[in-house]
Structure 1
């Protein structure tokens, strides 16, 4: 009876928040509904634990608080993704233990949801992943054209295919020293998969940024031009995301905000990206006085560095800054903002679903490249070890 009452309270609150968000011009469903769901769950589990004279929920909440504080201190660290994944596994174990003690219906429902998620992930095994990657690569190449950046999902699919064929048909037929040599590839893939999982987790969490409507500057990051003079659809979405925030802040608070259009002129471009972005913004009715051009940068890192100089030219004691880019790009952009001592969070523009796997892979490679020295040292040591094992195995066989 108690469980039914709490379920009723949950659904009434859920529907109330949903209806309120529908009435807003800038409807935001995920964060308010997610906040209500988590709050309800914590309160419910705490009540059940108190009734059973146990307080295991305290450990789970302490872990969650640690993750939150670490995230607030620096949102752009991969360790935050790792900590959240550890917490997620711990929470699943806690729910299982909780259900064994209480046989609670709501806890059972949560366990079923988690099991569906985990088993769904497991069923999405290597063969299914390879098929999906091949399918995705064909779509990307067809719609976006052939380039190294657009070949990433295809390259990954080919590597996984080689590993699958080796494990299924060759591993038991080759000498042990050959197996040692070949194991360098799957080990490296497993190593990077661990980091990719943490990267993907924190990247998705970073999407939940909801900056307050009291910003002084919004930086729009450049992304190439059509025929060297017009913004691409991808870049237009970045600008539109910034303009949406610009309009909402003015309408709801009246607080003025400057838009910094950041992007230099490439060797094959007729104008700078910043200039083309300004023409686009002017066509959307934005006053010229609210647009600032940063037309010297050639990368995301220099976008942040040169935009910071523009911000510092104004007499703000502690300017409030955000930046706009595509959703897959804002986490890495946030890293460069921090490296340039620019306290700014990102807001992401939507990207076509078919393009996201390729885009996230490219972002991940770029982040790995930022710390390539430590990764290469570790993998180099592992490679040396496997080579020694292969040599030892070869000598023994002889």
Structure 2
């Protein structure tokens, strides 16, 4: 039994470490590595933990720790379910599309950014009245803004440049929505928006859209399979951080 648990711990670590050859380490990877290590440690030192449990103080500490751990996992999976539930594509005939920026390597788009633009382009070909706000500023390691990179991708997909609006100031998801809302107000565009972003990012994007007064619908882009576990995990903590920040501002 101990060997089985150790193998499970190693597999958890492997699942969260394997994406690192394609992306930078994030909170999702860190959490998975810690979780896998925790499983292995509990298995290896199971007998010692049992001895500690025989003492009253040790028993209280262990029950408290694992009780909190169960609460943590319960909240984690509830949030994860909400993230997954937000993925379902429900954008139909919205005439305003917001395409969210993603990493640009110099001037070369990341695969995630390409997928977001393709999802938006396919939607706009079916909805000829739709216009797209390409939202994303320029990072310190980017030669061009993410909006400029998306502009090139969208036009190469056959979308007329007259239907594309660049928003190049934003540096976060909240700013994506805030500055896009300003453009929507200025140009008198529809506040019913289709958000084109990676599937794991959809819930947080929709929450920020609602915060600035927009009515969001999902237009998800498939993420790279090997990255999904780590990125979905990261989003759980992103949602929690967003809610904590909101609570502290009240």
TM bin, normalised by shorter chain, reads 0.7 to 0.9
State which of 329, 337, 357 in structure 1 corresponds to 2:209. Answer: 337
Is 1:152 matched up with 2:152? Answer: no
Match of 2:181 in 1: 308
* Richer in strand (by share): 2
Moved more, 173-182 or 281-290: 173-182
Match of 1:207 in 2: 87
TM-score w.r.t. the length of structure 1 is: 0.56
Is 1:261 matched up with 2:167? Answer: no
TM-score w.r.t. the length of structure 2 is: 0.86
Moved more, 287-296 or 133-142: 133-142
Q: What SS does the aligned partner of 2:169 have? A: coil
* Deviation digits for residues 252-299 of structure 1 (CA, Å, limit 9, x no counterpart): xxxx11111101111222221111111222222221111101111111
Q: 1:185 to 1:226 in 2, by over 3 A?
A: farther
Match of 1:52 in 2: none
Structure-2 separation of matches of 1:126 and 1:373: 37
Which blocks of at least 5 consecutive residues in structure 1 are unaligned? 1-124, 251-255, 377-398
State which of 223, 233, 242 in structure 2 corresponds to 1:370. Answer: 242
Q: What SS does the aligned partner of 2:50 have? A: coil
Is 1:243 matched up with 2:115? Answer: no
Structure-1 separation of matches of 2:5 and 2:127: 46
State which of 217, 226, 244 in structure 2 corresponds to 1:354. Answer: 226
Match of 1:220 in 2: 99
Identify the structure with bigger relative contact order (alpha carbons < 8 Å, sequence gap 6+): 2
Aligned 8 A contact 1:144 1:150 in 2: no
Aligned 8 A contact 2:95 2:127 in 1: no
Q: 1:336 to 1:284 in 2, by over 3 A?
A: same
Is 1:196 matched up with 2:73? Answer: no
Match of 1:324 in 2: 196
* Deviation digits for residues 200-252 of structure 1 (CA, Å, limit 9, x no counterpart): 2222222223222x21111011111112x2211111111111111111223xx
Structure-2 separation of matches of 1:178 and 1:375: 35
Aligned 8 A contact 2:133 2:165 in 1: yes
State which of 293, 300, 325 in structure 1 corresponds to 2:166. Answer: 293
Aligned 8 A contact 1:211 1:345 in 2: yes
Aligned 8 A contact 1:326 1:348 in 2: yes
Between the two proteins, the alignment pairs up a number of residues equal to 243
Superposed CA RMSD = 2.6
Q: What SS does the aligned partner of 2:200 have? A: coil
Q: Using the TM superposition, give the Cα deviation of residue 182 of structure 1 relative to its aligned residue in structure 2, in angstroms.
A: 4.9
Aligned 8 A contact 2:80 2:233 in 1: no
Match of 1:48 in 2: none
Structure-1 separation of matches of 2:245 and 2:185: 33
Match of 1:180 in 2: 60
If you compute each CA radius of gyration, which structure gives the higher value, 1 or 2? Answer: 1
Q: 1:160 to 1:337 in 2, by over 3 A?
A: farther
Which blocks of at least 5 consecutive residues in structure 2 are unaligned? none
Moved more, 179-188 or 284-293: 179-188
Q: Using the TM superposition, give the Cα deviation of residue 323 of structure 1 relative to its aligned residue in structure 2, in angstroms.
A: 0.6
Q: Using the TM superposition, give the Cα deviation of residue 161 of structure 1 relative to its aligned residue in structure 2, in angstroms.
A: 2.8
* Richer in helix (by share): 1
Is 1:230 matched up with 2:230? Answer: no
Structure-1 separation of matches of 2:191 and 2:246: 35
